[in-house]
Amino acid sequence: MSDEEQNAGAGAAGAPPDADDRNRAPLDLTREYTGRGIRVQWYTSRCIHVGECLRAMPNVFDSRRRPWVDLSFPEADADAVAEAVMRCPTGALHFERLDGGPQEVASSVVRATPIPKGPLYLRGDVEIFDEAGQLIRRDARMAICRCEHTCAQVSGGNLATWHDQRCQRER
């Protein structure tokens, strides 16, 4: 089992950013951070605070700092940041290469990993539909809550993955 799997649902760091206007982005995208040859996108509602990003690059991703993503550090070259972002199991972090480097490509083979007392991790070209058959999310990385309230969360348009941690506390 990988570190990200072992730490799922552990309630580690990764707090959402302050509600200021810096790095604001439209729709459900919470913030964008532009560095050297790469732009990082942050979707706070998807984060389950596994902390993979913090472990990968503790200077760049620091949940106690605002803004919590700082791409100005010397180690934050585009390749290293992209690698750290792809460790995020939920799709809360994504990137866009601005330097011609490789963008993330979702595998056509989907890998599903159930986490004990935690979410189901999905990696690959995954599509989630609501009960009406409407596509609500397509992503390369997702964490799906396995409790009985998952449908309501999905219907709401957000895979509110924080729900896993709340459910664990209630069990």
Q: Which residues bind ligand SF4 (CB under 6 A)?
A: 14, 47-53, 88, 90, 92-93
Closest-CB residue for ligand SF4?
A: 14
Nearer to ligand SF4, 90 or 150 (CB): 90
Nearer to ligand SF4, 91 or 150 (CB): 91
In this structure, the number of other CB atoms found within 10 A of the CB of residue 156 comes to: 12
d(CA 126, CA 128): 7
d(CA 20, CA 42): 15
Q: How far is the CB of 77 from ligand SF4 (least distance, A)?
A: 19
Q: How far is the CB of 120 from ligand SF4 (least distance, A)?
A: 14
Nearer to ligand SF4, 8 or 78 (CB): 8
Question: How deeply is 65 buried, as exposed, middle or buried, from its count of CB atoms within 10 A (0-12, 13-18, 19+)?
Answer: exposed
Nearer to ligand SF4, 92 or 126 (CB): 92
- Based on C-alpha coordinates, what's the Rg of the chain? 16
